[in-house]
Chain A
Amino acid sequence: MDEYKDKMEPSTEEVKEEQYSLSDDRRVKVLSPGALVAKRFFRNRLAVTGMVILVAMFLFSFVGGILSPYDQDQKFYRIDSQAKDYAGVIKNEEYRYTINDPVLFKSSVHAQALKAIIQKNDKFEYDGNSYSVEKIGDVDAYTVSSGGNIVGIASKELVNASVEGETLSFDFTLGAFNAYAKGDKAFEAEGKKYSLGEDDVITDSSGTEKAYISQYIVRPVMSDVFFSREFKNELIDSVESGQDSFKYTDADGVEAEYILKYDAGKKSWSVKQEIDTKVFDTYSAPSKKHWLGTDRNGMDMLTRLMYGGRISLIIGFIVVFIESFLGIVMGGISGYFGGWVDGLIMRIVDIFFCIPSMPIIIIIGAAMDAANLPSLTRIIYLMLILGFLGWAGVARLVRGQILSLREQEFMTATEACGIAPSRRIFKHLIPNVIPQLIVYMTMGLGETIILEATLSFLGLGVRFPFASWGNIINDVNDTFVLTNYWFIWIPAGVLLLITVLAFNIVGDGLRDAFDPKMKR
């Protein structure tokens, strides 16, 4: 006996732990049902991948939005050069008339004067008056006189007032032409002295520019623009030398490029100014500043995706929560009480299964459009409608489970203990339905996210300024975006796809993990 005892007694203290009797619970490592499920779940590599994707997606949407340096509706600008119509230049190829005496030099006389100039006659008669035509120096300008008085001037080159809208007196014009023809540097008109400077500019005694002589007429397109003399010279030089464009820095130091275009029909040049303007940075390609570029409104795409994910996930969760809540209550009551209550509720479920939900949501969406509801209200309505239309499936599932569960012994025990029905349903029955429910809800989340995205894609769900993955892809309806800007819609689509896929994979994994009959 002693020998036997010696053999059985542990010789050292370390092995004591392993010496439990066969019936001792501590001999076997006991796992709670939850731990078993978790163990089975984590053995499924696919499901774990799905879980990792989901966690990543949550971090991306909820933490990413905080980390991103930009706001969801922050707009970005870029400097873009735009060509604006700036000026028109006309080269005067016809004789124009400056009139001194409107009676003697009326428009019918103009034609006669022109005829005389072309035929190189110095005299012509018209309407009983005799006129004489005299060339002013070697300039292409003629004075027309009658009875010793100059009644008008016909010229190709013009004396233009420097200040728009100011009319120049005839004496001034005549004096200017005379000085111009003779090559004089100064002339006098109406008792004032003027000097004719370089580039045929006429300045008064105080040095202010009054007029200039040129065959070209330069007019601004916008009335509030005043052209400086240097600009006009630059412009006319470019026109004469046949250049397409020139650069000019104005008095304020702003450099701009001007583009000239000749219109043969109108015999005029139109001048466009290329100036840098601030515009929304739309559809810019991915760069260091914007990793995924910017969207139609010049907002950072990556940030929009983060906030979009937030909205998509939140809507998914709330809708599934509403669905499950209604479904559990209705299904629980129906399954537990049975009889006519069950019959009634199940017929309601049948009706809800039969309601064409997509058309209804579209019609309500269109009506909300017409009512111009604010974006946030729309989201709330959308969640309520989706939740309300979707509870039937949950109710059916819960009822089916409860029907089989309520016949089991533990339910008889609760009845024997005298526990109130509401407590029996919600404390003892529902927890046993939870595994199936979790699976259903996980899959339902994916479905809801797709549904919301589809509606937003059609423009009937989440609206600007809120982002959702669906309304980000909405831009693809524009064929130009589809063709040229992959970064606008492909990232959102991929995020949507992998999120829904992850929900489905995790749901699948959970189903397998919850099922004790599963082989592995």
Chain B
Amino acid sequence: MRKYIIKRLLQSIVILFFVAFIIYALMRCLPTSYVEAMARQKSMQPGSKSYEEWMEQLTAMYNMDGSIVSGYFKWLGSMLRGDFGDSWKWTVPVIEKFNDTVWLSFVMGFVSFVLEILIAVPLGIIAATKQYSKTDYTISVIALAGISLPTFFFASLLKLVFSVKLGWFDLYGLVGRSYDQLSAFGQIMDKANHLVLPVITLVVVSMGGLMRYTRTNMLEVLNADYIRTARAKGLSEKKVIYHHAFRNTLIPIVTIVGGSLPGLFSGALITETLFGIPGIGFTSYQSMVSGDIPFSMFFMVFTAILTLLGNLIADILYAVVDPRVRIA
């Protein structure tokens, strides 16, 4: 087991090495005029460094003078030391801005993730146990609709109904107008209130996939021999499904859920942008659109690490949870 984990870890590091190289090469391929124009624009901001300083820092950081390969290694070196440079847009060190924003995204992502599991898994199981019934069709269509629903359209609909027509929530932002006058508890409630619509959006858009996954796996389990045996023993249908089948369905579900955990840190780019929630997704979107190279580079590497970590966790969990899986 340990050997397997070490092997996968090393593999991931190699992949990360190449992904980072691609990201670096992409940045080097950006037209110089674009980079210079962006740096010039950023230097106009209050509190920002001067244009020359930015370009100097950029050249030093990404070693623009050297070839792509040598420059990449130097950049890799500074990255390993945790030095990602200063953000152009936010005019603070990249890591500082990252720390400011990532936790909000995580909280939002975690809440919607829990809700998603609580809704999707039971519905998927119900659909599978009643295959080809009306319930099954309804749930399948709902799941497909969730997958097919464009995030931005759904978010706009929610805004129209709940913000504009009913006036329950604000259209944008994380805090209301009177945030500063509220008590500590009131401030938390205000923030929670502003997160309701984004969380609903995230849950509805993402639950379809998990629902279908649960249904497919549950169907597979229900067709297995041991379920037939359980039924042949004369166990009640309830016991068959919730005791024998459910536990076995959990294996793939736990794997996929574990694998999604790191992704919670990468934020929800579209949803955060639409609702103006200053999490890591919205922040990086603004950075990317405004040509903030240091922050964008950091965010891309960070996302790549999270993806790899997710795959790694999923693979390891798969081996841990399912005793039938033997790892050579």
Which A residues contact B (CB, under 8 angstroms)?
46, 347, 350-351, 353-356, 358-360, 362-363, 366-367, 370-371, 446, 450, 453-454, 457-458, 460, 470, 473, 476, 479, 482-483, 486, 489-490, 493, 496-497, 500-501, 503-505, 508, 520
Contact = CB atoms under 8 A, between A and B. Distances in A.
18 contacts: A46-B137, A350-B15, A353-B307, A354-B15, A362-B288, A367-B31, A370-B34, A453-B150, A454-B150, A454-B152, A454-B270, A486-B160, A489-B153, A497-B149, A500-B148, A504-B144, A505-B144, A520-B132
Given A367-B34, A371-B31, A351 B22 contact: yes
Contacts of A490: 157
Nearest to A490: B157
B232 interface: no
A350 B19 CA distance: 9
Interface in B258-306: 269-270, 273, 284-285, 288-291, 296, 299-300, 303-304
Nearest to B164: A483
Given A354-B16, A355-B304, A504-B148, A497 B299 contact: no
Contacts of A496: 150, 153
A358 B34 contact: no
Q: Max chain A CB contacts within 10 Å: which of B144, B145, B147, B157?
A: B144
Contacts of A450: 148, 150
Contact of A359 (B18, B147, B303): B303
B263 to A, nearest CB: 11
B15 to A, nearest CB: 5
Contacts, number: 124
Contacts of A362: 285, 288-289
A108 B29 CA distance: 77
A91 B307 CA distance: 78
8 tightest A-B CB contacts, nearest first: A493-B153, A500-B148, A356-B303, A501-B148, A362-B288, A370-B34, A457-B152, A476-B156
A473 B37 CA distance: 30
Interface in B30-56: 30-31, 33-34, 37-38
Interface string B116-148: 000000000000000010000100110011011
A355 to B, nearest CB: 6
Contacts of B270: 454, 458
A360 B150 CA distance: 20
B298 to A, nearest CB: 11
A508 B273 CA distance: 32
Contact of B19 (A355, A473, A503, A508): A355
B144 A356 contact: no
Contacts of B150: 450, 453-454, 457, 470, 493, 496-497, 500
Contacts of A353: 307, 311
Given A371-B34, A458-B285, A504-B147, 15 more contacts: A46-B140, A353-B311, A354-B15, A355-B304, A356-B307, A359-B296, A362-B289, A367-B30, A450-B150, A457-B152, A473-B156, A482-B160, A497-B153, A500-B147, A504-B144
- Secondary structure type dominating chain A contacts: helix
Contacts of A363: 26, 30, 288, 296
Interface of B: 11, 14-16, 18-19, 22-23, 26, 30-31, 33-34, 37-38, 132, 137, 140-141, 144-145, 147-153, 156-157, 159-160, 164, 171, 269-270, 273, 284-285, 288-291, 296, 299-300, 303-304, 307-308, 311
A362 B295 CA distance: 13
A501 B296 contact: no
Contacts of A482: 156, 159-160, 164
Contacts of B31: 367, 370-371
A46 B142 CA distance: 13
B273 A458 contact: yes
A354 B19 contact: yes
Contacts of A460: 289
Contacts of A366: 288-291
Contacts of A489: 153, 156
A493 B156 contact: yes
A353 B18 CA distance: 12
Contacts of A500: 147-148, 150
B304 A354 contact: yes
Contacts of B308: 354
Contacts of A476: 152, 156
A330 to B, nearest CB: 16
A501 to B, nearest CB: 4
Contacts of B15: 347, 350-351, 354
B304 A356 contact: yes
A354 B16 CA distance: 8
A194 B12 CA distance: 103
Contacts of A458: 270, 273, 285
Contact of B37 (A355, A370, A453): A370
Contacts of B23: 355-356, 360
B84 to A, nearest CB: 15
Contact of B157 (A356, A371, A446, A493): A493
Given A496-B153, A504-B144, A360 B300 contact: yes
Contacts of B11: 350
A453 to B, nearest CB: 6
Contacts of A358: 269
Contacts of B38: 370
Contacts of A46: 137, 140-141
B160 to A, nearest CB: 6
A489 B30 CA distance: 34
Contacts of B273: 458
A46 B144 CA distance: 12
A466 to B, nearest CB: 18
B164 to A, nearest CB: 5
A519 to B, nearest CB: 9
Nearest to B296: A363
A362 B23 CA distance: 13
Contact of B307 (A354, A370, A457): A354
B226 to A, nearest CB: 19
A360 B153 contact: no
Nearest to A492: B153
A497 B144 CA distance: 10
A356 B141 CA distance: 30
Contacts of B299: 356, 359
B251 to A, nearest CB: 20
A518 B157 CA distance: 38
Contacts of B137: 46
B123 to A, nearest CB: 17
A496 B68 CA distance: 42
A73 B273 CA distance: 29
Contacts of B140: 46, 508
Contacts of A493: 150, 153, 156-157
B167 to A, nearest CB: 11
B102 to A, nearest CB: 15
A47 to B, nearest CB: 11
Given A454-B270, A500-B150, A359 B307 contact: no
A350 B10 CA distance: 13
